[in-house]
Amino acid sequence: MSGVLVVGDVINDVVVRPTGPSALDTDIAAEVSFVPGGSGANQAAWLAALGVSVRLAGRVGIADAGLHVALLAQAGVDTALAVDPDVATGSIVVVVGDDGTRSMFTDRGANARLAADDLTTGLLDGMSHLHVTGHALIEPAARAAVASLWQAAATRGLSRSVDVGTAGFLGGFGSEFLDWTAGADVIFANPDEGRIVVGLDVTASRDDVIAGLLQQFGVVVLKLGPEGAIAATGPAVVVCPPSDGGVVDPTGAGDAFCAGFLDSWLDGAALPEACAAATRTAAAAMASVGGRPPLRPATSLAPAPPSAVTALPWERLRHAARSASATAYAPYSGLRVGAAGLTDNGAVLIGCNVENASFGLTLCAECGLVSALRAAGSDRLVAVSVVAHDGEPLTPCGRCRQVLLDNGGPDLLIDRGPAADPARLGELLPAPFGSGELATRKES
């Protein structure tokens, strides 16, 4: 299996777990967590955690675009996020009840402005599967953009899947959903979502829902929450019980379920094995707060020796740098620049250029990257990619080479694009003025 392209939302989740009794017009004690979320981003992160090569397409606001790119890159996701200059990244307040139920208050923000320019067919390069979340089909412009990509994927021979994902937002459309997702190999839905899609009333049984969906889709996977799941294809029906595990936060369990199923199914597993993998992944998601897997330990991203440069995540760094360039402030030169660096403890950090009317006060993207390095408490950079807004690499200027020297050393690898091997900083800055000069030549 090659890569999976996920199209869906990126959201800032605010998870509220009340710890005191309900009351009106007064304070209620609660545990409040701020975590990254969004069905598309969650599913992409879980796929990456399972070892799948995954790319996420979506839209975020300019204020926190760099943060989302960095977090997804650290999770192993190749991001292709459009940056909205006017509308903030979407937000959800999730109130978790004692019994694990949730109430969600959603502002879709920049997600609602997904457009054709955000979903070019180039995103399908290197992909073998397209997965779309239902939230990406709510607004007409976004729906048209997804439809074009959906058809392009079919033309290229990619398999396709869809997660309905939202009865609340899609309830007004009903069976139109079948037209939007025609040809999908797999559909994920809970019973309520399935009834809406098929056009059944609330009295319809689960069997009725599955039968209706099987008329349109090759594989139907019905998510049943704490009861597990049912998967069906033709006459074959598999009932899959839930995996054991405590519930800390159910947010993102359905997203993890989809990722677990796709990882197994795309690898050729039969329905029982794929369904069991899905419930295991869902159980893992419910064991911690938030909808994504905990970020991998720093050691898992430890860089390879300089001689093994192909082991470094250059594509991830390039994508992160390009996304960072979208947030740059460059009204004078018109050259927006982004920088992304891999630290010695495995984090991916970013920076962008910030120009000033007094030109000499301009801050290069590499300066922002080094500031992020120190703010994160990391010690040094091991690999850096600097690109313009067009995605083409840039070589750090002389001042930035000196700045990077103090924060990465002469063995720091500088990206020169996919067509050339990276360069050591020592090659770009021969005979440098370093800390050793100060230590050996200062007056006593």
Place of tokens 């067009």: 390
Q: Based on the residue annotation, tell me whether 437 is a catalytic residue of this protein.
A: no
User: Which candidate in 366, 427, 437, 443 is catalytic?
Assistant: 366
Measured distance CA(143)–CA(429) in Å, rounded: 50
Q: Count the Cβ atoms, other than its own, within 10 Å of residue 225.
A: 16
Closest CA to 39 of 376, 292, 329: 292
Active site residue ranges = 366
